[in-house]
Amino acid sequence: MKSSNYIIYLHIPEIDEYYLVHGYTGAVDKVEPEIVKYLSDLADPAHTFHIKDLEMVRETLKGRELQEISEESIDTLKQRGYLTEMTTEEERYYVAHLADFLHRKKVSTTQPGMMFIPSYECNLRCPYCFETDTRVQLGKMKVLQNIMTTEMVDAAYKSFDILVKNRFPYHPEYAARLKHSVTLYGGEPLMLETLPVVEYILKVGLRRGYKFGAITNAVDLHHYTHLLGPEKINFLQITLDGTKDVHDRARIGPRHKKGTYDRIISNIRLALETRATVSVRFHVDFKNVGSTQELEQDLKNEGFNQYDNFQMYTYPIHKYHNGVEEPVFPLMGVHHMRKALDPIYDNLIQIQPSLKKTGDDSENGKKLNVSVPDEGVGRKLKSYVQGKLMGLYSTNMEPCGATTGLYIFDPFWKIYTCWDSVGMPGHETGKYSYEGPALNRRNNDWLSRSPGAIKECAECKYAFFHFGGCASLPVGVRGTIFGPACYQFEDNFIYSGQKLFRNGVEEALKKKMPQANSAEAISPEMIQAGTEMMLA
């Protein structure tokens, strides 16, 4: 008998409380220090992967006089999976198969996503852009300015129809009823040069009942106001790099050498007037994160806080694509960002900015909807507390749609599944044509990526919270999608878990699970039996 390798230990220093979260049984418990000491003493010394949480609680136990735990407590620990007779390898094998089953179930039931890349060209040259190498290569081949044709648009829609039908071969009536959302991506999708083909994409898509969004720098957005609104392009993600002086040093281009801040702000206002939702993504690092409130005030001065369809969120810049797995100053991890901003914007549970009005209608107007994302940890952990493993599964364990079926059509008749690898030679997952799609083995690789296919992830106690992470990181770091994408997730989870329990989620736990410390968990035997039945 040993402690499970999938126990997550959390100590809340401000109130000196301990919590256990079991990675695959669904058990969540507030426990006494004696329990933590007992389990930590039985931890497998050969298992040294992601044990920072264990090391942290061991430090807090030093010098304490602790009593022996009862046989009744030991029995409870066995029932809830904290104590196991499985070896390290048997646990890993079990988690790998469970993760693989849950992933295949998700793939078989998930509606595919669709994106268009009208052009790889961009009217800006942001210094951190991951597509720089792609544009340089396309420029050398004299094809960077290529724009998707109407024939390509028709072929892409036809190919997507076939992909959807293939996803649900036994339920064609269900496939026919699906209402799809299309995202416009680039390069820069909403340039003046791409206006005619974007108009055509919307003309065809709206006739099909599709919804539209776009990831855009908004520099040429004033040419697109007739295509914006609730029944057209209804969602816009627009990036700002900081206040005007900071932004204008980074977001420049051949025709915008003095910066783009004023023009983007003007175009945001135009978009808001159409009632399209505008989500501003503020790229932060250690140099500019301290100016977040200054940018917020600037946007309030512009009157954007008066719009219910305006939202803003922060996210750190990264260099995954350059093979940088850990942030190097001034880059920061998600937990660094949240430690800096959570005291100001305390919305741990939010995964996306909310459209709900906040604040009051005083002289300075409503507060902005500013969100500090946490990679979904707060939302997933709360669902885990309330619904055990299946509660977590229902919130979508997958890191993104790239591993469940995302099809990105570019202006060279190629299909990609990850928007971080578009245009990269050898990363296409297929081709499309008038006859339909022709997918390659790489498409199957993406749809097979889960903790079950990655040894390090199958050994990780955070497997069902992180589920392998963003696949673009191991592509850049290791040259394969079948590698872990940790990127300090352990630090982010510990921070999020401590904050969640410190802020009173115990009350939510009690409401959903009376007698929280003895509530029935999903035992390994129950999961094993169910998994075998479903796999049969």
Q: Let me know the angle formed at the C-alpha of 410 by 135 and 316, rounded to the nearest 5 degrees.
A: 60
> What mean pLDDT do residues 391-418 have?
89
- For residue range 195-206, what is the model confidence (pLDDT) as tens digits? 999 999 999 999
> Among 55-64, 213-222, 312-321, which is the least confidently predicted range?
312-321
Q: What is the pLDDT of residue 513?
A: 31
Q: Cβ(378)–Cβ(500) under 8 Å?
A: yes
- For residue range 255-272, what is the model confidence (pLDDT) as tens digits? 898 999 999 999 999 999
| Peptide bond preceding 187 in cis form (omega within 30 of 0) | yes
Instruction: Tell whether the model's pLDDT for residue 347 goes beyond 70.
Output: no
- For residue range 311-327, what is the model confidence (pLDDT) as tens digits? 999 999 888 777 777 88
- For residue range 225-245, what is the model confidence (pLDDT) as tens digits? 999 999 999 999 999 999 999
> What mean pLDDT do residues 203-220 have?
97
Q: What is the pLDDT of residue 505?
A: 59
Q: What is the pLDDT of residue 533?
A: 38
pLDDT band at 362 (very low <50, low <70, confident <90, very high): very low
> Among 261-270, 372-381, 393-402, 411-420, which is the least confidently predicted range?
393-402
Q: What is the pLDDT of residue 383?
A: 82
> What mean pLDDT do residues 493-511 have?
74
Q: What is the pLDDT of residue 267?
A: 98
| Peptide bond preceding 452 in cis form (omega within 30 of 0) | no
Pairing verdict, β 310-316 and 277-284: parallel
> Among 65-74, 78-87, 236-245, 506-515, which is the least confidently predicted range?
506-515
- On average, the pLDDT of the chain sits at 88
Phi, psi dihedrals of residue 258, rounded to the nearest 5°: -95, 5
Residue 344's Cβ-count burial label (10 Å; 0-12, 13-18, 19+) is exposed
> What mean pLDDT do residues 126-155 have?
92
Instruction: Tell whether the model's pLDDT for residue 504 goes beyond 70.
Output: no
Distance of CA 194 to CAs 221, 411, 454, 491, 511, Å? 11, 11, 40, 42, 53
Instruction: Tell whether the model's pLDDT for residue 19 goes beyond 70.
Output: yes
- For residue range 82-107, what is the model confidence (pLDDT) as tens digits? 999 999 999 999 999 999 999 999 99
Q: In this structure, what token pair is assigned to residue 77?
A: 């620990």
Q: What is the pLDDT of residue 326?
A: 82
> What mean pLDDT do residues 452-473 have?
93
> What mean pLDDT do residues 102-125 have?
94
* Residue 518 or 216, more confident: 216
**Domain extent listing, the chain:** 2-96+486-535
Q: What is the pLDDT of residue 482?
A: 94
Q: What is the pLDDT of residue 322?
A: 73
Instruction: Tell whether the model's pLDDT for residue 350 goes beyond 50.
Output: no
Pairwise CA distance, residues 446 & 458, whole Å: 17
Instruction: Tell whether the model's pLDDT for residue 169 goes beyond 90.
Output: no
Q: What is the pLDDT of residue 231?
A: 95
Q: Cβ(4)–Cβ(84) under 8 Å?
A: yes
Q: Cβ(413)–Cβ(426) under 8 Å?
A: no
Tell me which DSSP letter residue 256 carries.
Answer: B
Q: Let me know the angle formed at the C-alpha of 505 by 61 and 352, rounded to the nearest 5 degrees.
A: 115
Q: What share of the chain is helix, strand, coil (3-state, %, to 5)?
A: 45, 15, 40
Report pTM.
0.89
Q: What percent of the chain has pLDDT over 90?
A: 68
Instruction: Tell whether the model's pLDDT for residue 515 goes beyond 60.
Output: no
Pairwise CA distance, residues 95 & 214, whole Å: 37
Amino acid identity at 119: S
Q: Cβ(13)–Cβ(510) under 8 Å?
A: no
Q: What is the pLDDT of residue 179?
A: 84
Pairing verdict, β 406-409 and 414-416: antiparallel
